Structure 1
Amino acid sequence: MRTDLNLLRVLLAVYETGNVTTAAKRLGMSQPAASAALARLRHSLGDPLFIRSGNAMEATPRAQGIIEHTREVIEIIDRDILSGPSFDPATSEQEFVFCLSEVGEVVFLPALFQSLRKLAPNARIRTISLAPDELVESLHEGRVDALLGYFPDLITPNIYQQRLFSHDLVCLVRLDHPLVGEHLTLDTFSKLEHLQVRDGSRRQEMYEAHLGKSGVHRNIVLQTSHYMSVPSIIEQSDLIVVLPRTVANMYIHHPNVRTVEPPLAIPRYDLKQYWHARYHESPRSVWLRRLISTVFSE
């Protein structure tokens, strides 16, 4: 036997108010509609359910026998199903997982960590790096909560993206470099020996492609995959390196390095946050995306 859940709501309301008219008002329906619903339930259960006693409706034994179960069912449905999920960052002990490149950790992680520790003090935070062909699946499966950085090829159905801010590149040289003054000419830039950081990012590919289109050739004498050794190498040599400004700004506390603007206009690039459509309405994801946008959006 199938019973409309709304009929059970009428049953509970009549039991608690003792009156069909009052029950109808509580449920936001007309008195005839409530009477019709009660009639359907009586027919379905084969019992009058309520007997008029003066001005009130008195429950039959059958109604009394099912009323507590009815109340429990309606409470469970209203609380756990119809109300939808919720997320309270202040009490959450869940783990937030971010996919970041090496530069991405420099750019995003310090401020993101501070904000999360303040608003979600019990949450755990983890960052990972993934190959390009793993990004979409990791977002889809929920193994990554947010992908942050420069991923211009991530134009895929069901992947949302939001621009946060733009970044640019700058040159780093030794403080007393004999060939680099306050300004750097394109001719000098081309003649200098270069340190190249190939970290596998699309930003690097964009920069290399731009130089190629501009007809700029460099004398690359050293390649590395990481930024950790860059300031030590630069301050002890006449090499020049082009790197994200945020990273360069971390190194200018070294006493023997300085930044200088590139001699040609290098396009700025947008840093974004990415997430999967499966979690677009998730309260946890919505809260996290708003936090990231608030912290980093221009």
Structure 2
Amino acid sequence: MNIKKNPHTQLKKKKRLDLNLLVYFHAVYQTGSVKHAASFLNCSSPNVSQSLQKLREIIGDPLFIRDGQQLSATTVAARLYDETKDNIHELLYSIENLSEKIQRKLVIECMPYFSIKITPLITLFLQSKNIDCEIVQMSHTTVESVFWERLSLKKVDLVFGMKVDLEGSKMGYRLGSDTCVLVCRKNHPRIIDSYIYGFDVTESITKIHSDISELHKMRSLNNDYFQNSPCSLQAKSLLAICSHISVSDSIAIIPSSFYEKFKEVFNLKSLKTNLQMPDFDEYMYFNKASSDKELYLELYRYVQDNYDKV
């Protein structure tokens, strides 16, 4: 009589099957002993015995019968071994290779301007540790909760950016701080070396468009100025803002490190002003449960020690 097996029962068995059970089974089959298998796998005998018992329950066969000091394989065990001996090694090899490939990729997320500061430091750190690793850099300019969610779900390894409120699963370390400067193009028709709000002609401004709370300081510290001055551009990118400034009469507040790196490229000059220039702390964040926590802490110390040298 041909009895069809219940597909739901088969699915349950597949869910219960742990690849490690087959590893323990192969070790016992090859050594003929739970004790020798435990020694071979560098684990405890009870651990091997418990794994065998789980596999027995799934297969529905005792698998091994004691024959003096040795364990003798049943016909089911012999067939199971023959069916899996090649595949198990190929599968384990593939998993090990996949693990190595995953470990050779470091996914970081940070604001575009901040990547200019942090990417070379990460590169130098990996070189100093002789780690062959692909850096995957993602940009964030959206609400903080979005990239915190990606960090929690381990879609990214590290987040670099401004200080934010942490949840319990995240670890944050201060790297340093940055200040801001007021800038315009060098050949501005009215501004020479200073801009005094309330005295000089009101100039149009550019604004960085972001939901990141620390960036709001650029407006909140000078709230009246940003409300009363005409806006010529809103952009998420500092490169876009500086490109706009380089050919317009607008002015902008930008991070000083970005200004120092690109002032000649965009023909910019910094201005003395009575406007209050914001400053902000910059942090490195990762998940507490990360398997690479010690390596990330070494990276943090390296970045902190070399933060002002790049």
TM-score tier, shorter chain, comes to: 0.5 to 0.7
SS of equivalent residue, structure 1 residue 139: helix
Deviations 1:89-132 (A, max 9, x none): xx995211111111221231222223224424411111123543
Question: When the two structures are superposed, what TM-score results if normalisation uses the length of structure 2?
Answer: 0.60
Aligned to 2:239: 228
SS of equivalent residue, structure 1 residue 127: strand
Aligned to 1:128: 138
Matches within 5 A, 1:1-298: 68-73=36-41, 75-76=42-43, 93-130=103-140, 131=142, 132-152=144-164, 154-187=165-198, 191-212=202-223, 217-254=228-265, 256-279=267-290, 282=291, 284-296=292-304
SS of equivalent residue, structure 2 residue 257: helix
- CA distance in structure 2 between the aligned counterparts of 1:127 and 1:261, rounded to whole angstroms: 35
Read off the aligned partner of 1:133 and give its amino acid letter: S
More moved, 142-151 vs 211-220: 211-220
Which runs of 5 or more residues in structure 1 are unaligned? 1-63, 78-90
Deviation at 1:208, TM superposition (A): 1.2
More moved, 116-125 vs 142-151: 116-125
- CA distance in structure 2 between the aligned counterparts of 1:136 and 1:233, rounded to whole angstroms: 31
SS of equivalent residue, structure 1 residue 149: strand
- CA distance in structure 2 between the aligned counterparts of 1:225 and 1:135, rounded to whole angstroms: 16
Deviation at 1:214, TM superposition (A): 8.0
Deviation at 1:191, TM superposition (A): 1.0
- CA distance in structure 1 between the aligned counterparts of 2:127 and 2:261, rounded to whole angstroms: 23
Instruction: Indicate how the Cα distance of structure 1 residues 263 and 190 shifts in structure 2: closer, same or farther if over 3 A, else same.
Output: farther
- CA distance in structure 1 between the aligned counterparts of 2:288 and 2:248, rounded to whole angstroms: 49
Deviations 1:223-243 (A, max 9, x none): 223223334332322211111
Read off the aligned partner of 2:214 and give its amino acid letter: R
Q: What is the identity percentage for the equivalent residue pairs of Structure 1 and Structure 2?
A: 15
SS of equivalent residue, structure 1 residue 137: helix
SS of equivalent residue, structure 1 residue 180: coil
Deviation at 1:150, TM superposition (A): 1.0
Larger Rg belongs to = 1
Asked if 2 retains the 8 angstrom alpha-carbon contact of 1:106 and 1:246, the reply is no
More moved, 206-215 vs 125-134: 206-215
More moved, 142-151 vs 287-296: 287-296
Give the paired residue count: 218
Question: When the two structures are superposed, what TM-score results if normalisation uses the length of structure 1?
Answer: 0.62
Aligned to 2:54: none
SS of equivalent residue, structure 2 residue 148: helix
Read off the aligned partner of 1:167 and give its amino acid letter: D
Deviation at 1:141, TM superposition (A): 2.4
Asked if 2 retains the 8 angstrom alpha-carbon contact of 1:112 and 1:292, the reply is no
- CA distance in structure 1 between the aligned counterparts of 2:223 and 2:40, rounded to whole angstroms: 70
Deviation at 1:266, TM superposition (A): 2.6
- CA distance in structure 1 between the aligned counterparts of 2:223 and 2:134, rounded to whole angstroms: 43
Instruction: Indicate how the Cα distance of structure 1 residues 242 and 70 shifts in structure 2: closer, same or farther if over 3 A, else same.
Output: closer
Read off the aligned partner of 2:288 and give its amino acid letter: A
Asked if 2 retains the 8 angstrom alpha-carbon contact of 1:189 and 1:263, the reply is no
- CA distance in structure 2 between the aligned counterparts of 1:228 and 1:267, rounded to whole angstroms: 19
